[in-house]
Amino acid sequence: MSKDTPLEKIRNIGIIAHIDAGKTTTTERILYYTGRTYRLGNVDDGNTVMDWMVQEKERGITITSAVTTCFWKGHQINIIDTPGHVDFTAEVERSLRVLDGALVIFSAVEGVEAQSEAVWRQASRHHVPRIIYINKMDRLGASFEDTLQSIRERLNVKPLVLQMPMGAESDFIGVIDLVENKAYVFRDPSGEKYDIEDIPEEYQEEASQRREELMETIADVDEEALEVYLDTGEIPHDLLKKTIRRATIDNLAYPVFLGSSYKNKGVQMLLDGICDYLPSPIDIGPVSGKNPKTGEEVECPPNPDAPLAALVFKVMADPYVGTLVFIRVYSGTLHKGTYVLNATTGKKQRIARLLRLHANKKEDVDYIKAGGLGAIVGLKDTYTGHTLCDLNNPVVLEKMEFPEPVISVSIEPKTRADQEKLSAALAKFSIEDPTFKIKYDEDTAETIISGMGELHLEIITDRLLREYKVEARIGKPQVAYKEAISKEVKAEGKYIKQTGGHGQYGHVVFIVKPGETNKGLVFKDKTKGGVIPKEFMNPIQQGIISAMETGPLLGYPIRDVEVDLIDGSYHPVDSSELAYRVAASKAFRDAVRRADPYLLEPIMKVEILIPVQFLGDVISNINSKRGEVKGIEERGHIAIIHAYVPLSNMFGYSTVIRTLTQGRGSFSMVFDSYQRVPLSVQEEIIKKAKGES
C-alpha cells in the first residue's frame, strides 16, 4: 500500500476503557487481522506487542500509550492504546486531545465501571466521537442487556445497538448485524473464519424488534432519515449507514458492537465499524489556534498543502534513539531536514529524523502529512503541549490541561554516588509525564516526588532501578494536601533597600480574600491615579504566585484566592521589578497567616465490587474511614458500592478489602475533588507533621 492514504480514509483512534476490559487484547487482535503481526499476542502470556515495557508485561496492564499504524480495506488506522488505570490519567488525557475518534470497550460481565465513567467524561469534554464495543461475551456472567442498561444509566447516553449476540457465556456463537440484516456465525474454534448466513429463525423476532428500535433512534436525530422513515416505515441500507455515521461524528449517537477479543470473535466487524462510522481528519475539520504575536485566531485546515501546525502530545526518553517527541500533524506537512518554529518557546528547531511508530518498533519516514501521527527524534526543549509550526506562519494550538498530583513520597538514593543519576532520571520522568512533580524540601533536605496514586509512584521507582540502575529508598505515601483561607484581610508589603548607587523600592497594599473553587489566583488592580506604574503589575503577580506555593500551615500550595491591589507607592529611581516581587510576596504571606487558613484534602470516588454477603462489614469499614456511601447496586450475587472517601484513608485498601471479603472483593477509585478537612482531623495532621519534622 502506498504511504499516502487519502485523508478521508485515515482514522486516528484511541482505545479507552476500564482496567481489564480487554483493551490491549483487542488492539492485538486488530493488529493481527490487519496483517501488522503474524502471531496473536496475549496479555496473560506476556507477549503482547503494545504492552512492551517490562513493568507492563509483568503486571498485565498498560502504562504508557503505545502508538501504531495499520491498514484495513483501504483505510489507514492510527491507533493509540491508552492505559485504563486511574493513576495514568494523563496518558488518556493527552491521547484524547489528538484523536479524532475513540473505541470505548466495556466488559459484558462488569458493564460500566468507575474508570470507564471517568474516561467517558474525559472523551465528552474533548467532544470525541465514540463507538462502543462490548467485550468478553463468552465469559461466565456476561450479559449484553445488563451492559446496555448500565451504559444508559451511568453514562446517560442512548446506545445505538447495531449488533446483537447469538447466545452468551460459553454458548456465544455469533453476532447478528442489524444494519446488514445478516448473522455472522463463528464455527471455527479459532474464531478467525466465520460464515455469513440469514438470521436463524429463533432470533428473527428479537432482531426485527431491535432493527426497528435502531431506525427509530436514528430517525430521532437525523431529519433526512426521519422523512424517509415516516414515508416508508424503513430506512434503506445506504442511507442508514450514512446517517449512523453522521450521528456518530456529531456525538448524537454511539454505535454498539460486541464480541470476544480473546476468542477472536467479532473483531473484523469492529474494524469495519471503525472505518464506516468514526471520523476522518476531514470530518473533524479545521482546528483553531492563536497567533502568538497578535493574539488573533488562526484556522488550521486538515490540508497537506496548508502551513504546518502540529501538536506535541507526548515526550519520551527512548534508551536507543534518545528523546522521542510524539506529534499530531493537524495542518500542512512536516518534512525531514527542514526547520520549524516551536511557537510555544519561540525557538527555531531542525527536524533531523522522523518516525512512524508500531508500538516499540520504528520506521523512518521522510514526511508526515496533515492527519498523521508520528515522532521526531532528538528535539531539544520541546515538551508536551508545545506547538510546532511553519516559520512564517506562527500559531499556538490550545494547551493541554492535566490534573494535579494527589500523593507524595520522599525519595533518596541508597548510595551518595547515585545522587546525580537519581536527579537526572527524575528530571527525565517529569519531562515525560506532566502529572509527575519533583520538589526539594529545604526543611528536611528531602526530595519529594508527587503523582496520581500509589501505583504511579511504584512504577516510577521500578523504572529507576531497571532503566537507570538507581536504587532508591522510598518514604511512606503522603497525601498532597492543599491550603486555603476562610476570611478577608488587608496586608501591606514594603521592600526598601539603600545601597551605594541605586536602591530598591517596592510598596504594595492588598486585600486578600477566599476565591471561587478551581479558579486559582484572581488578581485585580484597583489602584487609582497610577500610584504604581502598569509595568510592575506582572512582577507583583509573580510575587504572589511564588508565595502561593507554600502555605502557612504545613507548606502545601495555597489555592483559590482573590487579591485586590488597592494601594502602594513608587520611587522614580529605586523602584524595580525585583522590589515589587519581594514586597508582594511578603504582603501575601502576612495576609494568608492572618486569614484563618485551613487544609483541603483529596476526596476519591470509590467503587467496590463484593459478594453481597460482605456488604455490612464493608460499609461499616467505609464509615470508619470518614467515607460517605452514595449508592449500592446489586447484580445477582455481586454488590457494587459507590462511595466518596478521603485519600488519606485509602492507602493499602486492597489488603483491607481482601481481608474483609475472603479475597473476593475488588475496588477502583478516581480523584473527585478537594474538600475542607474537619477541624479535629486538621489538628491531628498538623500535630503529626510537626512531631515528625
**DSSP characters over 668-683:** EEEEEEEEEPPHHHHH
The pLDDT of residue 472 is 81
**3-state DSSP call for residue 195?**
strand
Cell numbers at 525, concatenated = 488592580
The pLDDT of residue 27 is 75
Taking CA atoms, 532 is separated from 210, 512, 588, 610, in Å, by 71, 18, 17, 63
- 407-419 mean pLDDT: 81
161 CB contacts (<8 Å, ≥6 apart)?
148, 178, 210, 213, 214, 256
Lowest mean pLDDT among 285-289, 452-456, 659-663: 452-456
The pLDDT of residue 50 is 40
**Confidence bin at 240 (pLDDT 50/70/90):** very high
The pLDDT of residue 271 is 93
- 178-190 mean pLDDT: 88
Taking CA atoms, 385 is separated from 146, 205, 310, 367, 370, in Å, by 40, 52, 10, 21, 18
**Confidence bin at 122 (pLDDT 50/70/90):** confident
The pLDDT of residue 2 is 39
Q: Give the whole-angstrom CA distance, residue 431 versus residue 438.
A: 11
Cell numbers at 639, concatenated = 454488590
Identify whether the C-beta of residue 266 lies closer than 8 Å to the C-beta of residue 330: no
Q: Give the whole-angstrom CA distance, residue 509 versus residue 493.
A: 6
Residue 166 pLDDT greater than 80, yes or no: yes
Residue type at 414? Answer: K
Q: Give the whole-angstrom CA distance, residue 404 versus residue 217.
A: 40
The pLDDT of residue 653 is 86
- 109-115 mean pLDDT: 77
- DSSP secondary structure of 536-591: GHHHHHHHHHHHHTS-TTTSPPB-SEEEEEEEEE--TTTB-HHHHHHHHHHHHHHH
**Confidence bin at 92 (pLDDT 50/70/90):** low
Residue found under cell 528531602: 446
The pLDDT of residue 45 is 40
- 629-641 mean pLDDT: 84
The pLDDT of residue 500 is 65
Is the pLDDT higher at 82 or at 25? 25
Is the pLDDT higher at 556 or at 64? 556
566 CB contacts (<8 Å, ≥6 apart)?
490, 509, 510, 511, 526, 527
**3-state DSSP call for residue 297?**
strand
Residue found under cell 482505545: 15
The pLDDT of residue 492 is 94
- 595-611 mean pLDDT: 90
38 CB contacts (<8 Å, ≥6 apart)?
32
The pLDDT of residue 501 is 67
The pLDDT of residue 82 is 60
Mean pLDDT of the chain: 84
Lowest mean pLDDT among 150-164, 497-511, 641-655, 670-684: 497-511
State how beta strands 195-197 and 182-185 pair.
antiparallel
Identify whether the C-beta of residue 147 lies closer than 8 Å to the C-beta of residue 137: no
Residue 61 pLDDT greater than 50, yes or no: no
The pLDDT of residue 84 is 42
Residue 389 parent element (H or E)? strand 387-389
519 alpha-carbon distance from chain centroid:
21
**Confidence bin at 288 (pLDDT 50/70/90):** confident
- 639-658 mean pLDDT: 88
Q: Give the whole-angstrom CA distance, residue 584 versus residue 531.
A: 15
Encode burial over 451-476: b for 16+ CB neighbours within 10 A, e otherwise. bbbbbbbbbbbebbeeebebebeeee
Burial of residue 543 (CB within 10 Å: 0-12, 13-18, 19+) is: buried
The pLDDT of residue 37 is 45
552-591 pLDDT tens trace: 998 889 999 999 999 999 988 888 899 999 999 999 999 9
Q: Give the whole-angstrom CA distance, residue 196 versus residue 180.
A: 10
**Confidence bin at 443 (pLDDT 50/70/90):** low
- 140-168 mean pLDDT: 90
323 alpha-carbon distance from chain centroid:
22
Residue 338 pLDDT greater than 60, yes or no: yes
Sign of torsion, CA 276 246 280 49?
negative
- 611-622 mean pLDDT: 93
List the beta bridge partners of residue 130. Answer: 102
Residue 97 pLDDT greater than 80, yes or no: no
Residue found under cell 500500500: 1
**Confidence bin at 440 (pLDDT 50/70/90):** confident
